[in-house]
């Protein structure tokens, strides 16, 4: 039933113009249209919605992930670092951490970071 339709992640923010600066200026997304009280962004073959809400940043788990090719991972991490994005670290049952990057072996690596409202995003590679 729902498996036939593409999901659209929705990300709540407190300040839409500030969020647009982050998603467009820091992460490099382009607007894919306006939505009622929000902005749609294209990401690969999908899209996501950023919208204002009083519940912004209350989710303490990863909100949205991007799986990237191994050979693009270091460049993306470097671009985020140059934009002053701070990476999160946390206890994990497997893997090791080095300078904010989790290494799970066999080429699988990941970083986690937040948007200005504390929504957690992730970039990873399967190796």
* CATH number of the domain that residue 43 is part of: 3.10.180.10
- The pLDDT of residue 22 is above 80: yes
pLDDT at 37: 87
pLDDT at 67: 92
pLDDT at 3: 81
- The pLDDT of residue 13 is above 80: yes
Q: How many domains does the chain have?
A: 1
pLDDT at 87: 97
Contact 92, 35 (CB under 8 A): no
pLDDT at 127: 61
Q: Which domain holds residue 90?
A: 2-125
- The pLDDT of residue 78 is above 70: yes
pLDDT at 33: 82
Q: How do residues 31-68 score in pLDDT, each as one tens digit?
A: 998 788 899 999 998 999 999 999 998 988 999 999 99
Contacts of 78 (CB under 8 A, 6+ apart): none
For the chain, give percent helix, strand, coil, nearest 5: 20, 40, 40
């Amino acid at each position: 039933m729902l498996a036939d339709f593409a999901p659209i992640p929705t990300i709540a923010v407190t300040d839409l113009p500030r969020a647009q600066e982050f998603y467009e200026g820091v992460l490099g997304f382009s607007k894919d249209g306006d939505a009622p009280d929000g902005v749609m962004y294209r990401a690969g073959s999908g899209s996501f919605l950023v919208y204002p809400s009083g519940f912004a940043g209350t989710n303490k788990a990863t909100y949205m992930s991007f799986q990237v090719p191994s050979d693009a991972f270091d460049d993306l991490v470097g671009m985020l670092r140059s934009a002053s994005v701070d990476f999160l670290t946390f206890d994990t049952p497997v893997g090791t951490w080095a300078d904010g990057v989790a290494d799970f072996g066999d080429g699988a690596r990941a970083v986690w970071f937040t948007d200005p409202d504390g929504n957690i995003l992730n970039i990873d590679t399967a190796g």
